[in-house]
Amino acid sequence: MARLIFAFAFLAIGFAAGWLVNDASHKPVEPARNEEAPKTLNSSPFLSSRPVSENIAPLSRVKRSGESSNTDTTGDADSANMQDIAASALEKFQNLILSARYTEAVDYYQEKEREDSPLRATFKRELLKFLDHQLKSGEHRAFLGMTEAWLNTYFKDLDVLLLLAEYNGLQAYYGEAISIYQLLFSYSDRDGDQAKVQSAFISFVHQRDAVLLTRQAWFELQNFYEMVEQVGLANDNMLFRLAEIYVHNGQFSDAIWAAQRVIGNPRFRDKAEQLLALIESGEYENRPLLSVNSQNLKLERHGHHYLANVSFPGNVRLRLILDTGATLSVISKETQIEKLGLSGYSFVPDRMFNTANGVVRGEVMRVPSLLIGAFELKNMDVAVLPQSFGDDIDGLLGMNVLSQFRFHLDQEKAELILDKMD
């Protein structure tokens, strides 16, 4: 009994104290100590949705030569003419954006870029002001339209990608947000940029952790940190956090793996050794915590992947690759047209997805009923992307479906053990 009390006391102290005194370091960069922390996702609450024309960003304005000013200006005609040209150019750029002619706005920016015009910096400020306003006011169609057009050309623009990551976090598209942060780290080649990305990413992780911990959503928390680890963004603090969560969820072999990853770090050596000692004490059995209602779903091996059969409405069976790195389940456009059709499905707002071809916008349909094994899931979102998965494969089975279960993959038997969440 004393050992059991020690076990739970250790976990309680670990979760309460260990996470508060977290290290804000990341493998690629040490963030600047005095850099101001970014605004939290909760600092941008959605307002009531209104037409874009009634809820536009407060864009800047350049004075024309004939307008009054509080200062005594006696510039010559050439200077006045240049001022008028600048004002006209800025107004044109603003009007293209506000009239949803996003591709034309990008083309116009490129024109000024080719001219090496100093107006480029002004245009960029106006763009970011517009996107930030649309994000915070809930005008997501305008935000996504302008973002998509801009990133089609300037796909390495850190400022716009950071706003897109924030959008995904606000929409609870956490896998997409993680994927965008992965791009951001790969594109930030200056110390200042890396520190800015690092600070925003750690803030995002802490907020997600706090939300799920408040809800006691332990398996969602595990899935979240596993996604972070799979894309190579987990620092030692996050890995140890994952080890603690594995212990809580009864996945001790996974906990040992995660603890051993950080034991070489002096900051985590003592805590990792304590956690390993707790596991080796034998107080718990080394197995996932599954109920009597769990089910073993037979999978099909496909190279290094596994395929699951999932039934859509009309008893249409699709072959989907098990992909714990995909936040959202995905099917190809071809599968949607040839096997499912559009009848009986509704559509929710589009999302931005990081694919092999870059960041693309994809439609998302809401499936009224999915059947996986003996379990039926209602109103699940599935992305539809214009890509082929080959070999008669229809798409990906992602975490929005898998997170409805406590699940364990038995690779030796090629079985997915599912236990429905209450």
Residues 202 and 304 in one domain: no
Same-domain status, 305 and 199: no
Please check whether residue 73 lies inside any domain of the structure.
no
Residue after which a domain boundary falls, among 206, 237, 252: 206
Domain boundary among 162, 177, 206: 206
Q: How far is CA 249 from the centre of its chain?
A: 24
In a domain, 100, yes or no: yes
Residue 406 in domain: yes
Could you say which DSSP state residue 115 is in? T
In a domain, 113, yes or no: yes
Q: Are residues 202 and 299 in the same domain?
A: no
Strand-strand pairing, 395-397 and 358-372: unpaired
Note the pLDDT of residue 7: 42
CATH number of the structural domain spanning residue 303: 2.40.70.10
- What gap in Å lies between CA 81 and CA 75, rounded to an integer? 10
Pairing, β 329-332 against β 375-385: parallel
Residue type, 98: L
Residue 398 lies in a domain: yes
What is the pLDDT at residue 391? Answer: 77
CA 387 from chain centre, in angstroms, equals 21
Helix axes 2-13, 269-280, angle to 10 degrees: 150
Domain boundary among 154, 186, 206: 206
Total of domains in the chain: 2
Distance (Å, whole) CA 177 – CA 351: 11
Res 55: pLDDT: 43
Q: What is the pLDDT of residue 422?
A: 58
Same-domain pairing of 307 and 405: yes
Residue 79: what pLDDT? 67
Q: What is the pTM of this model?
A: 0.64
Residues 193, 49: one domain? yes
pLDDT means per 10 residues in the chain (422 residues)? 41 41 41 34 27 43 49 56 84 94 96 90 94 92 94 95 93 89 92 92 91 84 91 94 89 92 92 89 54 77 90 90 87 90 83 78 90 90 88 89 84 86 63
Distance from chain centroid for Cα 209: 14
One domain for residues 190 and 323: no
- At 413, list the tokens: 């038997």
Closest by CA to 55, choosing from 140, 122, 150, 126, is 140
Q: What's the CATH number where 87 sits?
A: 1.25.40
CA neighbours closer than 13 Å in the CB half-sphere of residue 108? 20
Predicted pLDDT of residue 201: 95
Whole-number pLDDT of residue 283: 61
User: Residue type at 262?
Assistant: V
User: What are the distances in angstroms from CA 258 to CA 90, 241, 273, 401, 419?
Assistant: 53, 9, 12, 25, 23
301/183 same-domain check:
no
418, 372 contact by CB (below 8 A):
yes
Assigned domain for 222 exists: no
Residue 141 falls inside a structural domain: yes
For residue 175, what are the domain limits? 41-66+78-206
Same domain, 47 and 180: yes
State the pLDDT at residue 39: 33
Residues with Cβ < 8 Å from 161, sequence gap 6 or more? 151, 180, 183, 184, 187, 359
57 and 199 share one domain: yes
- Does residue 243 fall inside a structural domain? no
Verify that 84 and 198 share a domain, yes or no.
yes
Alpha-carbon torsion angle 204, 206, 208, 213, nearest 10 = 180
Same-domain pairing of 195 and 305: no
The pLDDT, as a whole number, for residue 13 is 38
Residues 49 and 196 grouped into a single domain: yes
Nearest-CA neighbor of 149 among 74, 201, 206, 93? Answer: 93
**What does the pLDDT read at residue 196?**
93
Q: Is 376 exposed, middle or buried (0-12, 13-18, 19+ CB in 10 A)?
A: exposed
Strand, coil or helix: 213? helix
